[in-house]
Amino acid sequence: MPVADLYDLWDRPAVPVRWAEHAPPDDRPETVGFRDLLTRAHEIAGIAVPLPPALSALYRVLYALTARVTGLDAPDGWHERRYEVLDQGQFTPECVDVYADRYRDRLRLYDPQRPFLQDPRLAEQCDKPAGVNKLVTTRPSGSNHSWFQHAVDSRPDHLSSADALQHLLVWRYYGPSGRCSARTVGGKKEANSTAGPLRSALSYHPVGRTLFETLLAGVVEPDPYARPEVDLCPWERDDLPDPRTLNNVVTGQLSGLTARSQHALLLVPDDTGLEVRDAYITWAFRDRLPRDDDFLIWQISQAGNPYARYADSGRALWRDLDALLLKESPGKEVRRPRVFDSAVDLGLEDLRVQALGIEQEGQAKDTQLVSASTPPVLSLAEERDPEAARMIAGLRISGEAAGSRLNRATKQAWAVFSNARKAEDCAWSRDAAARYWPAAEAEFWQRLGERRFDGAARSFRQIAEGVYHQVTQTAAGTLRGAKARESARIELYGGRPKKPAAQAARTPAAAGGTETETP
């Protein structure tokens, strides 16, 4: 295949972007390569990748590239160096070019020896390819039903190289566990994989006015003992990893950003090199890589085990805000994403938060893409405005409490009215949630914008009262419905007070004038 057809990601259009207002109006291509993505980051407002999980994965690759071209991969003088880059206002083109020249053959999408983030050995180690429909996470494949588009495995539509890059990234970070294409390594054949490192998790990213600010805010301060020469991204390694061991796979922060994949892929281009016609998709390692990430909220289970906060398409981002602004959230063991320690310290006034992910199960089921963003809020973080951060936490707790009480009230009323056996069968609670949470979100942001924190609990309770009245109104015309409706209403105010424990009955002892408890 000619070199021109290997799709060099440095210069070929691969990433869609939105340009800032000050960018030259006659030089605004819709898609750019990695070189322009870095050298013109100060002219780019943001990345326009439509798939939230692909954007989340691409951010991690770009954070690693940013750390390399700025020298922020080394711990010595890290803060001073970062402020120097910020004062420059852009990434140095010469540094980007030096890095591009050093790894030019490693960032080609179809390089025969080292295709970008792929394993060329799969063509021989796998029994057969999985098909391009399997690669595209939004297409049905195999015997699955077609919902949004018709796709036939025997006649698949080819995929552009730029789009293929997005789905390659989704598979590496969000791929499912379970059955996959068989791969034979060292005479042993296996056909199952472990879930990707970000599967089912929600990823949080600081976002600035330009891509330059976004990438600089997303570079996390390295460990004091970090060794950049050992901490290698997959395209920087001279060898391919051994699938039978995890040794030397994740050796530091940057390899943790880019090499923590449980799936191995190989794209098969068409004759032009501009489209993908097939793909191999299989397991990358037999063992599970340690799941750690600086862009996830980590919670502690009752058993004492850390787990990442799940992506939930029905949960608005404001309900996570205090976990991002406070180092420790009140009332529960939560560790905020480590990236915000560094991002807040950068001192930028207009940093927003962007949340990206997929609501999904550990295996094949994907429910809904998740993408949300906040107004500029990181200036209210605990390090910069501790009082505002605590008040925001109180505001969130008030909204959550009213929503939880509304949920209990509607379920209790529904149970009495309908004799439903399971709480999951409650139609009123689903209707109430659909009405309450958008109204509570509007109340939250309005109060935050006005810095009006007094009386929040009462306001959220009034919203819950109005919603409860609406969703139970249809039952009010019957005696049974009215009784159910009114008996459960008290749950909106915290429920009935618990009765004090009955005082143990006591009888006089036979002698000595003391008392003993009767069984």
Looking at the fold, whether 147 and 278 belong to one and the same domain comes out as yes
**Which residues form the domain of 417?**
385-496
Number of neighbouring beta carbons within 10 Å of residue 411: 20
Q: Is the pLDDT of residue 362 over 50?
A: yes
pLDDT of residue 287: 93
Tokens in use for 430?
Answer: 């689903």
Q: Which of 258, 283, 308 is the last residue of a domain?
A: 283
- Residue 146 has what pLDDT? 47
Amino acid at site 351: L
Residue 272 has pLDDT above 90, yes or no: no
Residues 407 and 259 in one domain: no
Give yes or no: residues 417 and 279 share one domain: no
pLDDT of 183 higher than 50: yes
Residue 157 has pLDDT above 90, yes or no: no
Q: Which amino acid is at 296?
A: L
Q: Does residue 354 belong to any structural domain of this protein?
A: no
What CATH number does residue 490 fall under? 1.10.132.100
Q: Are residues 131 and 253 in the same domain?
A: yes
Asked if residue 78 is part of any domain, the answer here is yes
The per-residue pLDDT for 310 is 93
pTM > 0.85: yes or no? yes
Residue 504 binned pLDDT confidence (cut-offs 50, 70, 90): very low
Residue 451 CB partners (closer than 8 Å, separation 6+): 388
Q: Residue 437 corresponds to which amino acid?
A: W
User: Is 457 a member of any domain?
Assistant: yes
Q: How far apart are CA 351 and CA 254, in angstroms?
A: 23
Note whether residue 174 is domain-resident.
yes
Closest among 464, 483, 467, 465 to 475, alpha carbons compared: 483
Which range has the top average pLDDT, 55-59, 366-370, 412-416? 55-59
Q: Is 288 helix (H, G, I), strand (E, B) or coil?
A: coil
CA distance 17 to 28: 9
Query: Would you say residue 344 lies in a domain?
Result: no
pLDDT at residue 492 in the model: 93
Cα–Cα distances in angstroms (integers) from residue 467 to residues 286, 428, 446, in the given order: 51, 10, 19
Whether 292 is covered by a domain: the verdict is: no
pLDDT at 169: 97
pLDDT at 509: 45
Is pLDDT of 5 > 80? Answer: no
